[in-house]
């Protein structure tokens, strides 16, 4: 951050993009829960601590935090991933609420499966609506940032799933249970 500020004087857009996947549920070791928490959530906190002071001093800036559709919906086969991605979305919401009136724009990127190292073993349940190429995701990011919208949804189906979840939570949970049955109780990518 300091190098970028020294070289360019200010940061217009900071993309906070770090994430790991840990399969399992409550039985996952405390050390593994802490590791995924530190990477999937705290990395956004640390980035914000570093970049916000200069943005706030200028009265403008843009934060793009990468979460996942799992942060809006859930993740079959990984409680640590589901929980930390929900927290990442929650932190982005908080940033927008807290600093939006002070010139700071915030968007949160929530894709399903994208062809990356994380999906090199297969998309698993996240690929139910297809796997995107990184270039497709980037195009959606550029378009959404130009519109200054909070949610960046490269898979448009995610909005429909969110609406169904909000409209009838119990029915949505039933559908997620069926999805889990389809992909196995302990799905692993």
- Kindly report the CATH number assigned to the domain that includes residue 151: 3.40.50.720
Total domains in the fold of the chain:
1
The one catalytic residue in 62, 81, 99, 161 is: 81
DSSP secondary structure code for residue 13 in this structure: E
Is 189 inside a domain boundary?
no
Q: What is the pTM assigned to this prediction? A: 0.89
Is 87 inside a domain boundary?
yes
Is 104 inside a domain boundary?
yes
Which pLDDT score is estimated for 189? 41
Range of the domain at 84: 2-183
pLDDT digits (tens, 9 = 90+) for 7-44: 999 999 999 998 999 999 999 999 999 999 999 999 99
Give the CA radius of gyration of the chain: 17
Does residue 81 carry a catalytic annotation?
yes
Is 162 inside a domain boundary?
yes
Place of tokens 């799905």: 187
Task: For strands 61-66 and 104-109, give the pairing.
Answer: parallel
pLDDT digits (tens, 9 = 90+) for 112-169: 876 666 655 655 655 566 666 778 888 999 999 999 999 999 989 999 999 999 999 9
Which pLDDT score is estimated for 183? 77
Cα–Cα distance between 7 and 116 in angstroms, integer? 30
């Amino acid at each position: 951050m300091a190098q970028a500020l020294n070289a360019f004087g200010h940061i217009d857009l900071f993309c906070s993009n770090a994430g790991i996947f840990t399969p399992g549920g409550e039985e996952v070791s405390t050390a593994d829960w802490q590791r995924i928490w530190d990477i999937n959530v705290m990395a956004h906190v640390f980035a914000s601590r570093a970049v916000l002071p200069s943005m706030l001093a200028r009265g403008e800036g843009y934060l793009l935090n990468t979460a996942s559709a799992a942060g809006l919906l859930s993740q079959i086969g990984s409680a640590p991933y589901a929980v930390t991605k929900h927290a990442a979305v929650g932190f982005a919401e908080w940033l927008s609420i807290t600093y939006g009136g002070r010139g700071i724009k915030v968007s949160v990127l929530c894709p399903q499966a994208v062809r990356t190292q994380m999906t090199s073993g297969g998309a698993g349940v996240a690929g139910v609506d297809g796997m995107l190429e990184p270039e497709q995701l980037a195009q959606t990011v550029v378009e959404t940032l130009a519109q200054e919208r909070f949610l960046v949804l490269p898979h448009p189906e995610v909005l429909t799933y969110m609406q169904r979840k909000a409209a009838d939570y119990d029915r949505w949970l039933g559908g997620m249970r069926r999805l889990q049955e389809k992909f196995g109780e302990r799905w692993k990518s």
